[in-house]
Copies of this chain bind each other. A is one copy, B any other.
Amino acid sequence: MVGYPTKKVKHENKGLYLGNKGMSFEDEINQSNEFYLVHDKAVIHKKPTPIQIVKTEYPARSKTRITEAYFVTPSTTDYNGIYKGKYIDFEAKQIASKVSFPFAFIHTHQVNHLRSVIKHGGIGFVLLRFTHYQETYLIDANALIEKYDNPNVKSLTYEWVKENGKFVPTGYRPLLDYLKAVDELYFKGE
């Protein structure tokens, strides 16, 4: 129980593949969702990180303390909600690579979850950030799945993403206006 290095964790929703830079990408999305919510544009929330609780303590006159717990693999994507009456579901990923996003960085059951979402009439996508270029793209789940299901394809190249993804504009409010990309891709006729 002692002797291990300990580390303060500032934020509640630490992504599994995301370091400090990831926190800020996640913060950008969360702040954008807050902006959308406050301005009545959409109701989209990040799901809490799934954690398996092993031990809890009940200190007198104090709130329940969890003293042993572990991160577990999420069974769905991180974000979902409703926009213009439609169910919206997406995963956010960032990558330091200049050339590609390897599929190893997304869980199979997350891809399968997006499959189900599409099948049931929802909008599904991945928000993909290339940190080197500081660029974020929205990749429609159908396009992602087509690549993912191809046994010869192990990653999405930056060039492919640039060509097939929707560029997500950044700004002041919201920080990351990904619903603009959603509008262009899924609500073009409206």
Interface residues of A (CB under 8 A from B): 1, 4-9, 12, 14, 37, 40, 42-43, 45, 47-60, 63-72, 74-76, 80-87, 89, 113, 116-117, 119-122
Contact between A85 and B14 (Cβ–Cβ < 8 Å)? Answer: no
Query: Does the CB pair A51–B120 fall under 8 Å?
Result: no
Partner of A64 from the list B37, B58, B70, B86 (CB cut-off 8 Å) is B70
Asked whether, in the complex, the Cβ of A51 is within 8 Å of the Cβ of B66, the reply is: yes
**In the complex, which residue of chain B has the Cβ closest to the Cβ of A55?**
B6
Cα distance, A32 to B99, chains bound together (Å): 43
For residue A72, give the distance in angstroms from its CB to the closest CB of chain B: 7
The answer to whether A43 and B120 touch (CB under 8 A), given A82-B87, A87-B82, is yes
Given known pairs A6-B57, A86-B87, the reply for A70 and B75 (CB within 8 Å) is no
A43 near B113 with CB under 8 A, answer: yes
Q: Assess the B120–A7 pair: CB atoms within 8 A.
A: no
Contact A8:B64 (CB < 8 A) given known A69-B69, A82-B87, A86-B87 = no
Q: How far is the CB of A7 from chain B (nearest CB, A)?
A: 6
CA distance A57 to B6 in the complex (A): 5
Q: In chain B, what residue has the closest Cβ to A85?
A: B121
Q: A12-B50, A48-B47, A75-B45 are in contact. Are A65 and B70 (CB under 8 A)?
A: yes
Contact A55–B9 (Cβ < 8 Å): yes
Contact A67 B70 (CB under 8 A): no
* Distance in angstroms between the alpha carbons of A49 and B69 in the assembled complex: 13
Known A-B contacts A120-B42, A120-B83; the reply to A54 vs B9 at CB < 8 A is yes
